[in-house]
Amino acid sequence: MLLTRSCLRNGLEEVSIASSALIAGLSAESHKVFRDGGRRAVTPEQTIARISPFLGQIGVTRVANITGLDRIGIPVVAVCRPNSRSLAVYQGKGATLAAARASGLMESLERYHAEFARVPELVASYESIRKSASAVDVKKLPKREGSTFHADLRRGWIQGINLLDRMPVWVPHEIVHYATAGEFGEDRYFQTSSTGLAAGNSYSEAVLHGMCEAIERDCSTLWRLRNPAVQQLSRIDLASVSDPRCLTLIEKLKAAGLGVAAWETTTEIGVASFVCRIAEPESSGPSPYEFTDAAGCHPSKEVALARAILEAAQGRATAISGARDDLFDDYYEPVGRALAEKLHNDLLSGQCFRSFQHTPSFDGDIIESDVSYVLGKLAAAGIQDVVAVCLTRSDFRIPVVRIIIPELEDGELNDCYSPRGRAIRAYRGRS
């Protein structure tokens, strides 16, 4: 239902049906049934069985095992949605093939939900909404370079819940809906991305995944703005890693003859985050997978590091497959020889300054404990808004949310990224 200016003072602070379902879902207990490289409420096989009946509806035509395109042996799959309104090929990775398949299917499912997100529940100007209800501070949201925000322009809005106080808050529909071939606001002010879009086997699992992705990209963005010498001070001594799953993944990379290194990128928020880089042992010419960087974040440091390693392995297989439709010609251009040699030397013989054992970590018995832990860390760091928008569809009933944390940076995967407050402070060496 579209609401107009005359309706602004009529029920805007009431919790919608979708938001109520999300709040109720977060009150349930989700025990950690699967713990191999991640923390899930059910096994990967159960996740696959739950999604499979909907593959035709969301447009999945094929799930390809592309593990064998590389020599590492870490499972990677490609999920094809040729009629997608954003990407046509999605990747999944995991410690097992079933986990990789579940990962890829969940990513395609969450994208479908964002492409066909429910219509705006409110059409009004930002100026009008702020007089009658709580709305996210648009000045804190990522904006398109050179764009101008018009507070008196009518646009679509959708209700979310601020997880820090469980109160409703209105957010621009443009940053919730995600289809690169879709609609935009009249002034196209906001920079949209897939950050914080998450599906889960429970609402808590989806919310945790979305929050961790938003924190991960903030951590990686701030880390990459640092001087290389400062970045190097956060390099992890992999000999200090004791987690069996992480060690198995590292050994797979080394057995394939690849160099591997990891840097801790955890910020003052205190949720464990890492960047992992893998590379060929010697500069091998203009290969698109000569160097692969990836990141991972989770309250459990073991899961965070495993995610970064798995993501890096997925990145290599994706580049080799050539099927990802957002990797353009420049991605496959050769790295300059001098730069390639420096990167190899730094990777293979760089000094390690940090122990994995010193990374903050938390691993509750239930996923809701992890959600509470992350929310507490965000609040303690001065973050005021952690907004969850429920995108779950009644015909699927698989929890999907969009997490929006306006103050966090999101430049990790964005070519049009414009640094904001946290990035500017980090660049100046003040955070």
What's the pLDDT tens digit per position in 300-327?
Answer: 999 999 999 999 999 999 999 988 877 7
Which segment of 103-117, 270-284, 412-426 scores lowest on mean pLDDT? 412-426
Host H or E run for residue 259: strand 259-264
Asked if 295 contacts 410 with a C-beta cutoff of 8 angstroms, the reply is no
pLDDT for 285 equals: 57
pLDDT at 335: 64
Q: How far is CA 15 from CA 162, 237, 277, 398, 420, in A?
A: 11, 48, 44, 21, 31
Poorest-pLDDT segment among 137-141, 274-278, 364-368, 370-374: 137-141
Tally of CB atoms within 10 A around 201: 23
Residues 67-86, mean pLDDT to the nearest whole number: 95
What's the pLDDT at 164? 97
Per-residue pLDDT, averaged over 73-94, amounts to 95
Mean pLDDT in residue range 347-356: 87
Say what the pLDDT of residue 66 is. Answer: 97
Between 47 and 290, the higher pLDDT residue: 47
Structural contact between residues 266 and 256, judged by C-beta atoms closer than 8 angstroms: no
CA 26 vs CA 109, 369, 372, 427: distances in Å:
20, 11, 10, 37
SS3 state at 402: strand
Is the model's pLDDT at 283 over the cut of 70? no
Q: Quick one: which of 90, 93, 51, 1 has its CA closest to 306?
A: 93
The total number of residues shown for the chain amounts to: 431
* Per-residue pLDDT tens over the stretch 11-26: 677 889 999 999 999 9
Count of other CB atoms within 10 angstroms of residue 287: 15
CA-based R_g, the chain, Å: 21
Q: What pLDDT score was predicted for residue 344?
A: 72
β-bridge partners, 262: 276
pLDDT at position 5 is: 35
The average confidence (pLDDT) of the chain is 89
- Asked if 60 contacts 77 with a C-beta cutoff of 8 angstroms, the reply is no
CA nearest to 153, candidates 173, 176, 124, 175: 124
pLDDT tens per residue across span 196-210: 999 999 999 999 999
> What mean pLDDT is predicted for residues 365-371?
97
DSSP reduced 3-state for 204: helix
What's the CA angle centered on 247, arms 244 and 248, to 5 degrees?
85
Give yes or no for residue 170 having a pLDDT over 70: yes
Give every CB contact of residue 256 below 8 A, 6+ residues apart in sequence: 70, 71, 72, 73
Least confident of 179-183, 254-258, 278-282, 283-287: 283-287
pLDDT, residue 8, reads 41
CB atoms within 10 A of CB 424: 13
| CA atoms within 13 Å, Cβ hemisphere of 106 | 30
Reduce the DSSP state of residue 93 to 3 states and report it. strand
**Distance between first and last Cα of the chain:** 44
3-state helix, strand, coil in the chain (%, to 5): 40, 20, 45
C-alpha to C-alpha distances, 372 to 91, 204, 286, 296, 377, nearest whole angstrom: 29, 10, 46, 19, 9
Q: Which of the residue ranges 7-11, 216-220, 329-333 would you say has the lowest mean pLDDT?
A: 7-11
pLDDT for 11 equals 63
pLDDT of residue 133: 92
Closest-CA residue to 387 (of 155, 141, 164):
164
What are the pLDDT digits (tens) for 24-48?
999 999 999 999 989 999 999 999 9
Q: Is the model's pLDDT at 60 over the cut of 80?
A: yes
Q: In this predicted structure, what is the pLDDT of residue 279? A: 87
Residue (of 404, 408, 403) closest to 421 by Cα position: 408
